Amino acid sequence: MSKQPDHFRREPRPVSVAAIQMSCSWDAAANLAKAEQLVREAAGRGAQIILLPELFETPYFCIEQDVRHLRLARSVSESRAVRHFSEVARELGVVLPISFFEHAGQAYFNSIAILDADGKNLGIYRKSHIPNGPGYQEKTYFSPGDTGLRCGTHSSRVSVSGSAGISGSRRLHGPWRCWARRYSSFRPRSAVSRRPLFL
Protein backbone atom coordinates (compact mmCIF):
# COMPACT_ATOMS: atom_id res chain seq x y z
CA MET A 1 0.00 0.00 0.00
CA SER A 2 1.67 3.22 -1.11
CA LYS A 3 -0.45 5.69 0.83
CA GLN A 4 -1.98 5.39 4.26
CA PRO A 5 -5.77 5.92 4.21
CA ASP A 6 -7.00 9.15 5.80
CA HIS A 7 -8.89 7.35 8.56
CA PHE A 8 -5.61 5.71 9.71
CA ARG A 9 -4.14 9.15 10.30
CA ARG A 10 -6.80 10.42 12.66
CA GLU A 11 -5.53 11.39 16.09
CA PRO A 12 -6.75 8.97 18.75
CA ARG A 13 -8.65 10.51 21.62
CA PRO A 14 -8.73 9.34 25.22
CA VAL A 15 -11.92 7.81 26.62
CA SER A 16 -12.47 7.45 30.36
CA VAL A 17 -14.36 4.34 31.43
CA ALA A 18 -15.64 3.49 34.92
CA ALA A 19 -16.76 0.05 36.10
CA ILE A 20 -19.02 0.15 39.15
CA GLN A 21 -19.36 -2.54 41.79
CA MET A 22 -22.16 -2.47 44.33
CA SER A 23 -24.18 -4.76 46.55
CA CYS A 24 -27.81 -5.34 45.53
CA SER A 25 -30.89 -6.11 47.63
CA TRP A 26 -34.39 -7.27 46.67
CA ASP A 27 -35.51 -3.62 46.79
CA ALA A 28 -35.24 -2.69 43.10
CA ALA A 29 -35.99 0.99 43.71
CA ALA A 30 -33.15 1.20 46.25
CA ASN A 31 -30.79 -0.54 43.81
CA LEU A 32 -31.66 1.94 41.05
CA ALA A 33 -31.09 4.85 43.45
CA LYS A 34 -27.73 3.49 44.60
CA ALA A 35 -26.66 2.84 41.01
CA GLU A 36 -27.65 6.36 39.99
CA GLN A 37 -25.65 7.86 42.87
CA LEU A 38 -22.54 5.91 41.79
CA VAL A 39 -23.06 6.85 38.13
CA ARG A 40 -23.25 10.51 39.10
CA GLU A 41 -20.08 10.20 41.15
CA ALA A 42 -18.24 8.48 38.28
CA ALA A 43 -19.43 11.12 35.81
CA GLY A 44 -18.28 13.82 38.20
CA ARG A 45 -14.82 12.25 38.16
CA GLY A 46 -14.66 12.40 34.38
CA ALA A 47 -15.96 9.00 33.26
CA GLN A 48 -17.57 9.07 29.82
CA ILE A 49 -18.68 5.42 29.64
CA ILE A 50 -19.94 3.88 32.88
CA LEU A 51 -20.63 0.16 33.34
CA LEU A 52 -22.99 -0.98 36.09
CA PRO A 53 -23.12 -4.53 37.55
CA GLU A 54 -24.80 -7.36 35.72
CA LEU A 55 -28.55 -7.58 36.48
CA PHE A 56 -28.18 -4.93 39.20
CA GLU A 57 -31.92 -4.42 39.78
CA THR A 58 -31.86 -7.45 42.11
CA PRO A 59 -29.33 -9.77 43.72
CA TYR A 60 -27.82 -12.32 41.30
CA PHE A 61 -30.76 -14.76 41.33
CA CYS A 62 -29.06 -17.29 39.03
CA ILE A 63 -27.35 -18.93 42.01
CA GLU A 64 -30.47 -21.14 42.25
CA GLN A 65 -33.07 -22.73 40.01
CA ASP A 66 -36.45 -21.21 40.77
CA VAL A 67 -38.86 -20.42 37.93
CA ARG A 68 -40.49 -17.69 40.04
CA HIS A 69 -37.51 -15.49 39.14
CA LEU A 70 -38.82 -15.42 35.55
CA ARG A 71 -41.39 -12.89 36.81
CA LEU A 72 -38.56 -10.35 37.03
CA ALA A 73 -38.11 -10.24 33.23
CA ARG A 74 -39.37 -7.25 31.25
CA SER A 75 -39.39 -6.17 27.63
CA VAL A 76 -36.97 -3.41 26.65
CA SER A 77 -39.77 -0.84 26.69
CA GLU A 78 -40.96 -2.00 30.13
CA SER A 79 -37.53 -2.19 31.78
CA ARG A 80 -37.38 0.25 34.70
CA ALA A 81 -33.59 0.32 34.56
CA VAL A 82 -33.48 1.18 30.85
CA ARG A 83 -36.15 3.87 31.18
CA HIS A 84 -34.60 5.37 34.32
CA PHE A 85 -31.02 5.48 33.08
CA SER A 86 -31.98 6.84 29.69
CA GLU A 87 -32.86 10.07 31.50
CA VAL A 88 -29.69 9.92 33.60
CA ALA A 89 -27.50 9.38 30.52
CA ARG A 90 -29.12 12.37 28.79
CA GLU A 91 -28.74 14.62 31.84
CA LEU A 92 -25.09 13.74 32.50
CA GLY A 93 -24.00 13.33 28.88
CA VAL A 94 -22.50 9.87 29.48
CA VAL A 95 -22.81 6.47 27.80
CA LEU A 96 -24.47 3.81 29.98
CA PRO A 97 -24.57 0.12 29.00
CA ILE A 98 -27.52 -1.06 31.13
CA SER A 99 -27.89 -4.75 32.00
CA PHE A 100 -31.43 -6.08 32.40
CA PHE A 101 -33.42 -9.34 32.38
CA GLU A 102 -35.24 -9.24 29.04
CA HIS A 103 -38.46 -11.02 28.06
CA ALA A 104 -38.90 -11.02 24.28
CA GLY A 105 -41.69 -13.13 22.78
CA GLN A 106 -41.34 -16.61 24.26
CA ALA A 107 -37.66 -16.18 25.16
CA TYR A 108 -35.70 -14.71 28.06
CA PHE A 109 -32.29 -13.06 27.72
CA ASN A 110 -29.52 -11.56 29.83
CA SER A 111 -29.32 -8.30 27.89
CA ILE A 112 -27.60 -4.92 27.71
CA ALA A 113 -29.09 -1.72 26.28
CA ILE A 114 -26.44 0.76 25.13
CA LEU A 115 -27.72 4.20 26.15
CA ASP A 116 -25.87 7.00 24.42
CA ALA A 117 -25.02 10.37 25.95
CA ASP A 118 -28.26 11.83 24.58
CA GLY A 119 -30.31 9.06 26.26
CA LYS A 120 -31.04 7.24 23.00
CA ASN A 121 -30.99 3.43 23.08
CA LEU A 122 -28.49 2.49 20.34
CA GLY A 123 -29.33 -1.21 20.45
CA ILE A 124 -29.60 -4.36 22.52
CA TYR A 125 -26.94 -7.00 23.08
CA ARG A 126 -28.13 -10.40 24.32
CA LYS A 127 -25.45 -12.37 26.16
CA SER A 128 -24.47 -15.41 24.11
CA HIS A 129 -22.32 -17.40 26.56
CA ILE A 130 -24.67 -18.82 29.20
CA PRO A 131 -22.75 -20.58 32.00
CA ASN A 132 -24.22 -23.46 33.96
CA GLY A 133 -22.57 -24.78 37.11
CA PRO A 134 -22.57 -24.32 40.88
CA GLY A 135 -23.67 -20.77 41.61
CA TYR A 136 -24.30 -20.02 37.92
CA GLN A 137 -27.62 -21.63 36.93
CA GLU A 138 -28.09 -19.22 34.02
CA LYS A 139 -29.41 -21.81 31.56
CA THR A 140 -32.51 -22.05 33.76
CA TYR A 141 -33.33 -18.44 32.91
CA PHE A 142 -31.63 -17.30 29.70
CA SER A 143 -31.62 -18.33 26.07
CA PRO A 144 -28.32 -17.84 24.23
CA GLY A 145 -28.26 -14.38 22.70
CA ASP A 146 -29.15 -13.87 19.07
CA THR A 147 -27.51 -10.46 18.66
CA GLY A 148 -24.07 -8.91 18.54
CA LEU A 149 -23.66 -5.18 18.82
CA ARG A 150 -21.22 -2.64 17.50
CA CYS A 151 -22.17 1.00 17.49
CA GLY A 152 -20.76 4.50 17.57
CA THR A 153 -21.48 6.44 20.74
CA HIS A 154 -20.71 10.05 21.59
CA SER A 155 -17.52 8.87 23.34
CA SER A 156 -16.21 5.95 21.31
CA ARG A 157 -17.05 3.11 18.97
CA VAL A 158 -18.29 0.30 21.22
CA SER A 159 -18.47 -3.45 20.61
CA VAL A 160 -20.28 -5.89 22.86
CA SER A 161 -19.79 -9.55 22.00
CA GLY A 162 -19.30 -13.04 23.37
CA SER A 163 -19.59 -13.31 27.14
CA ALA A 164 -17.50 -10.22 27.85
CA GLY A 165 -19.02 -6.94 28.67
CA ILE A 166 -21.36 -7.23 31.60
CA SER A 167 -19.63 -6.09 34.74
CA GLY A 168 -20.83 -7.43 38.06
CA SER A 169 -20.12 -7.23 41.75
CA ARG A 170 -19.42 -10.97 42.12
CA ARG A 171 -19.11 -12.29 38.62
CA LEU A 172 -17.24 -10.53 35.88
CA HIS A 173 -16.55 -11.73 32.38
CA GLY A 174 -13.58 -11.31 30.12
CA PRO A 175 -11.13 -8.50 30.88
CA TRP A 176 -13.24 -7.05 33.69
CA ARG A 177 -12.71 -10.17 35.83
CA CYS A 178 -9.01 -9.40 36.38
CA TRP A 179 -9.57 -5.66 36.58
CA ALA A 180 -12.14 -5.93 39.36
CA ARG A 181 -9.93 -8.08 41.56
CA ARG A 182 -7.47 -5.21 41.78
CA TYR A 183 -9.84 -2.29 42.26
CA SER A 184 -12.89 -1.75 44.42
CA SER A 185 -15.83 0.58 43.75
CA PHE A 186 -14.89 2.28 40.46
CA ARG A 187 -11.87 3.99 38.99
CA PRO A 188 -12.03 5.79 35.67
CA ARG A 189 -9.49 4.45 33.17
CA SER A 190 -8.42 5.87 29.85
CA ALA A 191 -8.29 3.93 26.60
CA VAL A 192 -6.54 5.49 23.63
CA SER A 193 -7.02 3.49 20.46
CA ARG A 194 -8.36 3.59 16.94
CA ARG A 195 -10.09 0.30 17.64
CA PRO A 196 -13.55 -0.01 19.15
CA LEU A 197 -13.82 -0.27 22.90
CA PHE A 198 -14.90 -3.82 23.83
CA LEU A 199 -17.31 -4.01 26.74
Res 199: pLDDT: 56
Res 8: pLDDT: 67
Query: Is 1 within the bounds of a domain?
Result: no
Res 149: pLDDT: 65
* Predicted confidence band of residue 3 (pLDDT cuts 50, 70, 90): confident
Query: How many domains does the chain contain in total?
Result: 1
Mean pLDDT of 105-113: 94
Structural domain range at position 185:
13-198
Query: Is 3 within the bounds of a domain?
Result: no
Mean pLDDT of 105-123: 93
Query: Is 39 within the bounds of a domain?
Result: yes
Query: Is 7 within the bounds of a domain?
Result: no
Encode pLDDT of 21-58 as tens digits: 999 999 999 999 999 999 999 999 999 999 999 999 99
Res 1: pLDDT: 53
Query: Is 116 within the bounds of a domain?
Result: yes
* Predicted confidence band of residue 136 (pLDDT cuts 50, 70, 90): confident
Res 163: pLDDT: 44
State the average pLDDT for the chain. Answer: 79
Mean pLDDT of 65-94: 96
What's the CATH code of the domain at 137? 3.60.110.10
Encode pLDDT of 138-189 as tens digits: 999 999 987 766 666 666 666 565 443 433 333 333 333 333 333 333 333 4
Rg (CA), the chain: 17
Query: Is 182 within the bounds of a domain?
Result: yes
Query: Is 71 within the bounds of a domain?
Result: yes
In a 10 Å sphere around its CB, with 0-12 CB exposed, 13-18 middle and 19+ buried, how is residue 150 labelled? middle
Query: Is 61 within the bounds of a domain?
Result: yes
Res 132: pLDDT: 85
| This prediction's pTM | 0.76
